[in-house]
Amino acid sequence: MSGYRKLKLEILELRKQGKSYREIESILNCNRSVINFHCTKHNLTDTGKKRYAVSDKTKVAISDFCKHKKIKEAQIYFNLSKSTILKYKNFELKDEQK
């Protein structure tokens, strides 16, 4: 089996085990773009695990902020990525979370 194919299979196996892109990058010592390529191709995209979890309080604050402000302003205000802001811009606490 070629080195490329072996790397691909190792990446996919680690993702199926729930490892994040960052963890896979560390374990296999390969570039995150390679991991992203294989995982996207096989519908195993990143879990969205963050180094620092976004609290429910912050999620609600992002949602409230985005009702009156632009996404770019929210990125600056909360110091979070655009994808994180977009993920929580319509966030609402469910009854069991309240």
Neighbours of 53 (CB within 10 A): 8
pTM of the predicted model as reported, rounded to 2 decimal places: 0.50
* Average pLDDT for 17-28: 89
Can you spell out the DSSP letters for 46-76? -----SSPPPHHHHHHHHHHHTTS-HHHHHH
* Per-residue confidence (pLDDT) for residue 96, from 0 to 100: 56
- What confidence tens digit (pLDDT) does each residue in 24-64 have? 999 999 998 999 899 888 877 755 555 677 889 999 999 99
Domain ranges of the chain: 3-41, 56-93
What's the CA gap between 44 and 40, in Å, rounded? 6
Name the pLDDT band for 21 (thresholds 50, 70, 90): confident
